Structure 1
Amino acid sequence: MTEPLTDPVVAPDNEASGQADIATLAPPDGMAATVADVPVQHEVTHPVPAEASTDDLEPPTPEAQAEPEAESAPARPLIEPLPAPPDTRIMVVANQKGGVGKTTTTVNIAAALAMGGLSVLVIDLDPQGNASTALGVEHSTGTRGTYEVLLDGDAIEDLVVVSQEAPNLRVLPATVDLAAAEVELVSVVAREGRLNKALRTYLKDHPADYVFFDCPPSLGLLTLNALVAANEILIPIQCEYYALEGVSQLMQTINLVKGELNDELDLSTVLLTMFDARTKLAAQVVDEVRAHFTEQTLPMVIPRSVRISEAPSYGQTVLTYQPESTGAESYLAAAREIARRGAKENS
């Protein structure tokens, strides 16, 4: 049993200013990290004060809906320079369970790092192309991108697009064609290493500080290609019931890939998402995750937020859509911590 949280994690927004305080959650003392036998049942034992609320859970106003132009171009937040890692950090953002904030985490962390002056590449491996949408990159039928790299052997450098979020943020877009790639790759020689080969070729002439793979919510050949090409894994975990379901299977896949195809692969980061401080269960899930991934879990959580959900519909991350929102501040804090750990651990 873990120690209860002592304070609400997310303070209510000030409606007049749009500002909100972000409190971090310190890991409980004396807990060892494990990656096996992750429980999926959560006993609710930690009360959270009822007055604590998440970031702007109210629906958008009619004025905001009627005037998307006014919402779509806010002033960009001022980001202090972030430390660069000595070597490229190649991170898979994966979770077999859908709806955990995987794509949202990919695009917002990538954008925050780029705004901090780092060179970032996002490779969209999800046929839905949601990461491409959120980063303002065209991915309609006929757009060349990840499919052509995997199946036709096209060079990444010929297909990447600069995102409107930052000039040093590049995106390899995904289209619906990727849905067929799972089947088409089955008969391809060395199918699990095609993306790795293409990425290494690209990085020789186009060095980057960070590469992020946004994977589909499955453990098929698209995700396998990302796991072979990466050296780190970032798992977003939703602060809700059954949140840990599927993590055990993902860990088994990671261990298989590490043993057979990529011995550099390591689970480096866990990020808690969709935290609702008004629910008792959210606090319990936080404790469960920290107990099993003590070293990997970031000290901040991402709140459940309407602003985070709205941003992609404008082709933006929450960092540009609502830079003063709690969601934006939380993702900025997470990006700072990821950059700090990368610079420290690899120095």
Structure 2
Amino acid sequence: MKVLVTGSAGFIGFHVAKRLLERGDEVVGFDVVNDYYDPALKEMRLAKLQETSRQTNSGFHFVRANLADRSTIERCFGDHKFDRVIHLAAQAGVRYSLENPHAYVESNIVGFTNILEACRHAEVAHLTYASTSSVYGANTDMPFSESKGVDHPLQFYAATKRANELMAHSYSHLFRLPTTGLRFFTVYGPWGRPDMALFLFTKSILAGEPIRLFNNGNHTRDFTYVGDIAEGVIRASDQPAAPNPAWDSDAPDPATSNAPYRIFNIGNNDPVKLTEYVGALEEALGLKATIELLPLQPGDVPDTFADVSALQAAVGYKPATPVREGVRAFVDWYLSYYEGGVRP
């Protein structure tokens, strides 16, 4: 197949594009490669995708542009006939949304509108896009399932991703565009973003500096290994959303509609306390961390826990990489990339 992967220079987009190339698909990557974090890391990911393309003879083409540039999106869809679109580009980060909300509107709202319109007019067979577990916001009924309320996001980032879900439904309903939204739960692993906790913790521990644990370290997170996320994304993309045959318009409170639209959680289904996560990192590094305990930050969600039964029923897959195994894989990559493979 020919697949468009937006955000292909990003953390998850890179892993998804690499797997698609490895199985022989032709991939068109699309990314602005901005300086939200180190552009050199993004360029290295792109170089790895080019290398994978040469090794597999599968074909990787890259478009360096802004999703908010409507004309470039239209030209990309005019130049290529996509069998699938996997939309992973977004302005990420919870705390940055407190500082620069306009960046989230441009990327997550305007950019997503351009993708929806392009998919609609090109009659793309299936659009799969990234949402986030942050949409569950103030919900405290664990585990989070897709049927539970998501109308009280605690950060502007989460609000924009919830808006994406609603926007996708309108296109599925109006234009019968099959869409699948995926709510990612605390993704970590090799080639990660430098602003993510595991990256920051590793850097600080190696430098002999304290690490900061907010909420006094009492967070629990459904940490999900990036390889599992990539596998789930591709499996969902391979099986287009379809109208719900059991939908009843006369039901007093129909749970969904008859649009070709669906939402899935992708999480490890095994929440881990933040201090245990740090323990796995200490074990992988062979070093002890100095810990600074701090209060809960604005917008932070204390706990996350994914119910992945709907994903498993639909695509026959659920993440399962243990945290200690995933953290060690990250440390091995980090040391190779930044420290020349030398352990302390």
**TM-score, normalisation: structure 1:** 0.38
**TM-score, normalisation: structure 2:** 0.38
